[in-house]
Structure 1
Amino acid sequence: MLKTTQTQKMLQRAMPIIVQKQNMLLLPNMTLEHIIRQELEQNPFLEDADDIVQEGEIIEETEITEISKEEKADSEEEYDISDFEDEDSEGYKTQTGEEVRDKRQVMENVLQIPISVRDNLLTQIYLSDLNDKEKFIGERIIDLLDEDGYLRETDEEIAHEINELKSGTEFEDEEITTAEVTKVHDKIKRLDPIGISSRDLQECLLIQTREAQIPKEFKSLCITILSKYMEELRLKKYEVLMKDLKLNNEEIKKVFDFISKLNPKPGKSNDPNVMDYIYPDFIIIEENGELRAELTDKNFPSLRLNTEYLGLVESDKKVNKEAKEFIKSNFEKAKWFIDAIKSRRETMMKVMNYILEKQKRFFLEAGKHLEPMYEKDVAASIGMDISTVSRTVRGKYVQTSFGIYELKSFFSNALHSEEGDISSKEVKDKIAEIIRNENPGNPLTDENLAEELTKHGFKISRRTVAKYRESMKIPKARLRRKL
């Protein structure tokens, strides 16, 4: 028998302002500037303090009246068509159709803003039919993609990692399951570019083939070859494929032509004219041996609340209930927006100042001596959650006198050496340097590399060397050999 019961329980929910602050931290400066200008246009209670005309600069009403009279008198003058013929002034010449087209083309080129693969994927995720929790999972999956667009972690590992990092988010009381990760992952694989987030080349090519608009029989043949003859395909063993699948020269050529046009690296932009530009969020300035960090937000509009507009509207007794609700909602939204930007700025400066202090030798010695550092160290020092630090450094860059660096690159594990703890990144740099100087006819094995590192004071195992070498995408010794 069914019956109705009442229960009481406490739930922790993130307030809208907290969620907004968290989302703001994820945005790089260029994106945030665009959003600020968009909010300025949409919310009447926000205004740019820099655009407000000072009282002394206001044109007197009498001057405006006089100008208007002069313009009216000028407009009453009559002109003949001959007055406009054979005009020598370049500024008044009528443009030809070709000139107009050229000008339009220039404007189109100027307005083309390159969009990164990551931003493109995030936009598709936000516009999809996924719920908020699934979008949260999708963001993390996209962040884990390597530069070629592949996802190396298993769905189970991703679920475990998200559950560890969800503290401080609106989903911290909810369990992220492997099934939920798998569902979102399958959705991402079929976003544009198709095949993104595949785990290997074979899966990537199979997904693109299944989604391709090609004849059914030909598609089935391509899928068979990709599924069962991947090694023969890689080594171009045409004879084996022709014999096993009973294909002629023309048919096998058609298959290879199709597969060769698939995208093996969906994480790379397909447009050769589009370049990924890095716009730093911070700049390091050195004065008299002292370092300081500055945010590159000088061009941001200086936001403030438009209280005059609020007063005018509230004083109007004809304003109905619906309009008042609109006013209240937008006024609160404007306050939250300004507060979120201020909070973002403060958090970013706290994190950057800690990095600057911890990695002082790195900045003073042009990129040498990187200290081991963890996100939890920063979080403990500035009194914030690890997830907040993670959001702050994700996708952010700092400009120095010797190059631009991603903030995440300053975090690395500690390794013990004869001189004390050293950064794993410093060891990787040393491995890369040794390999660059090796004999190409007789490359060093991982065991040889470990011996060389020991000579430089880095005592690490062959397995660790192999792990670091693979993380830098450096092939094994036999694959590095050159004649």
Structure 2
Amino acid sequence: MALEMIQTQTLNLKMSPALYQAISLLQYTNTELVDFIKEQAMENPLIHLEDSSYMSSKPLSSSWHNQPADKTRTDIIEETISDKGDYRESLYQQANVLSLDHSLKKALIYLIDSLSDHGYLEESLELLAEDLNIDISLLNEALAILQSFEPAGIGARSLQECLLLQLKSLPEKAPLAEQIVSEFIDVFITGDWSSLSKELGVTGHDIQKAVEMIQSLHPNPVDNFEQGLVQYIIPDVTIKKDESGYRCIMEDYFLPQLSVNFDDYRILRKDGDKETRRYLQKKYHEAQWLVQCLSKRKQTLLEVTEVVIERQRAFLEKGPKLLKTLTLGMVAEELGVHESTVSRAIKNKHIQTPHGLFPYKELFVRGVKTAEGSISTHDIKETIKRLIASENPAKPLSDQAITMRLKEKGIQISRRAVAKYRSECGILSSTKRKRKD
């Protein structure tokens, strides 16, 4: 076989460092972006950073001595994630981000300092008010704020109040469970559930579900603290409603302000040698490119949010139950960008809505085609929940039976899909849901 040289032409897609940086910036969270910007500023002498003006103070101690107010909001977030100390530090941080008048803030911090190691407030408010020489109404107001903090149940004065606080913090209200804890807590000692069922006029199945929910609560609100503090999330975008309608706001106020120091570039480039000028020109272009990428990142996320506002208006008005089918492809088509761009823009980001804080991806809902059009997976899950809620506990519906019921409603999905949606709803399989009389 003879050897010969052959020249061929092929097309290869290579990603330049600048393009890679632009794509990476798009998918960074705000916390990751802060670290990246600071890293770039250390490597590039032409990048000038001005830290956010947001300041917070260290919590007041029980002796009421003020501590230095020298921490930014970013510092608070980083400490919240990394600190594994006393659970009170978590409460101090939650208190620091609130806008409270001085006297109320002092009362709140004093209550935090007065909590037991188990997170309970064991001293009476009357005695605490006497110690501080303040009106008890101020302490009551501070206690209400403390009891709204995480973990749920913190600041309770009894086990009964601790359980009630946890029930009230649940996304979906449980009025029967709240009534049992509030008015019939002694039944957990007697175990006379049949009498309770008759007195409340509800079925034994309803009582059992409520009791199981109560038993899943934590009698010690700081039990899980050693596993790590709750991570407090600052949204990347907030949707607010005003007189003109809904608008989106980028929550980037704590990001360092970046600018290119052109005066230094001009002076150093003029006085430097050839190698210095080449280096400065490279850094100048890198700094300009970074500014453009940051601006493009913000613009892309705002544009995506504008489409979400338009497509999910019913959700914004009425809540999660009215989430409509919305895919990455639908948004990408409307904006004239690639689907991967939308995917990167919302990756690991959170959005504050009138109905709470959500991972951005939860506002994107896949749809299933039906005879009448399309139905979102959220609606399918709600339908599955309703079917299971009305089933006979002694003969619960299997996934196949649910599949057939959905088919009768015009929703054709596989048994495997039903099992997946059921599991995502936190519902056990039929064998584990079965109740014996």
TM, length-normalised to structure 2 = 0.55
Counterpart residue type for residue 308 of structure 1 = D
How far is 1:328 from its partner? 2.1
Counterpart residue type for residue 237 of structure 2 = F
Who is 1:403 aligned against? 356
How far is 1:450 from its partner? 4.6
CA contact (8 A) 1:373 1:412 kept: yes
In structure 2, distance between residues paired with 1:395 and 1:458: 35
Compared with structure 1, are the counterparts of its residues 434 and 311 closer, same or farther at alpha carbon in structure 2 (3 Å cutoff)? same
* SS at 2:81 equivalent: coil
In structure 1, distance between residues paired with 2:405 and 2:321: 20
Compared with structure 1, are the counterparts of its residues 387 and 465 closer, same or farther at alpha carbon in structure 2 (3 Å cutoff)? same
CA contact (8 A) 2:326 2:367 kept: yes
- Counterpart pick for 1:386 among 315, 331, 339: 339
How far is 1:418 from its partner? 6.8
In structure 2, distance between residues paired with 1:314 and 1:283: 43
Matches within 5 A, 1:42-121: 42-48=43-49, 112=79, 114=81
2:268 is the counterpart of 1:313: yes
Compared with structure 1, are the counterparts of its residues 437 and 330 closer, same or farther at alpha carbon in structure 2 (3 Å cutoff)? farther
In structure 2, distance between residues paired with 1:461 and 1:111: 44
In structure 2, distance between residues paired with 1:285 and 1:468: 31
How far is 1:359 from its partner? 0.9
How far is 1:18 from its partner? 1.9
How far is 1:357 from its partner? 0.8
Note the alpha carbon deviations across 1:392-434, whole angstroms, 9 max, x for none. 1221111112111222222233234576422112211332344
Counterpart residue type for residue 359 of structure 1 = Q
* SS at 1:114 equivalent: helix
Matches within 5 A, 1:23-422: 23-48=24-49, 112=79, 114=81, 272-288=227-243, 290-316=245-271, 319-417=272-370, 420-422=373-375
CA contact (8 A) 1:446 1:462 kept: no
In structure 2, the gaps of 5 or more residues are 54-63, 66-74, 83-223
How far is 1:110 from its partner? 8.8
Who is 2:418 aligned against? 465
In structure 1, the gaps of 5 or more residues are 53-89, 92-107, 116-268
Note the alpha carbon deviations across 1:355-414, whole angstroms, 9 max, x for none. 111111111112232211221111111111111111112211111121112222222332
- Counterpart pick for 1:426 among 379, 398, 403: 379
Tell me which structure has the larger Cα radius of gyration.
Answer: 1
* SS at 1:432 equivalent: helix
In structure 2, distance between residues paired with 1:306 and 1:51: 18
2:15 is the counterpart of 1:14: yes
Counterpart residue type for residue 425 of structure 1 = H
In structure 2, distance between residues paired with 1:300 and 1:413: 33
Residue correspondences, number:
274
Identity of aligned residues (%): 26
Counterpart residue type for residue 397 of structure 1 = H
* SS at 2:240 equivalent: strand
CA contact (8 A) 1:30 1:279 kept: no
In structure 1, distance between residues paired with 2:367 and 2:244: 28
CA contact (8 A) 2:349 2:359 kept: yes
CA contact (8 A) 2:29 2:348 kept: yes
In structure 2, distance between residues paired with 1:439 and 1:372: 32
Counterpart residue type for residue 262 of structure 2 = T
* SS at 1:368 equivalent: helix
In structure 1, distance between residues paired with 2:291 and 2:238: 23
Who is 2:430 aligned against? 477
In structure 1, distance between residues paired with 2:414 and 2:76: 52
Note the alpha carbon deviations across 1:194-223, whole angstroms, 9 max, x for none. xxxxxxxxxxxxxxxxxxxxxxxxxxxxxx
How far is 1:277 from its partner? 3.5
In structure 2, distance between residues paired with 1:34 and 1:41: 11
In structure 1, distance between residues paired with 2:428 and 2:39: 47
* SS at 2:255 equivalent: coil
CA contact (8 A) 2:48 2:259 kept: yes
CA contact (8 A) 2:51 2:255 kept: no
Compared with structure 1, are the counterparts of its residues 462 and 110 closer, same or farther at alpha carbon in structure 2 (3 Å cutoff)? closer
Compared with structure 1, are the counterparts of its residues 482 and 458 closer, same or farther at alpha carbon in structure 2 (3 Å cutoff)? same
Who is 1:103 aligned against? none
In structure 2, distance between residues paired with 1:111 and 1:346: 26
Counterpart residue type for residue 241 of structure 2 = E
Counterpart residue type for residue 114 of structure 1 = I
CA contact (8 A) 2:406 2:412 kept: yes
CA contact (8 A) 1:46 1:303 kept: yes
Root-mean-square deviation (Å): 3.4
Compared with structure 1, are the counterparts of its residues 451 and 288 closer, same or farther at alpha carbon in structure 2 (3 Å cutoff)? farther
In structure 2, distance between residues paired with 1:41 and 1:408: 33
How far is 1:337 from its partner? 0.8
Higher relative contact order (Cα pairs below 8 Å, separated by 6+ residues): 1
Counterpart residue type for residue 341 of structure 1 = L
CA contact (8 A) 1:427 1:458 kept: no
How far is 1:470 from its partner? 3.7
Compared with structure 1, are the counterparts of its residues 110 and 279 closer, same or farther at alpha carbon in structure 2 (3 Å cutoff)? closer
In structure 2, distance between residues paired with 1:306 and 1:4: 53
* SS at 1:315 equivalent: helix
Compared with structure 1, are the counterparts of its residues 110 and 408 closer, same or farther at alpha carbon in structure 2 (3 Å cutoff)? closer
CA contact (8 A) 1:398 1:407 kept: yes
Matches within 5 A, 1:447-458: 447-450=400-403, 457=409
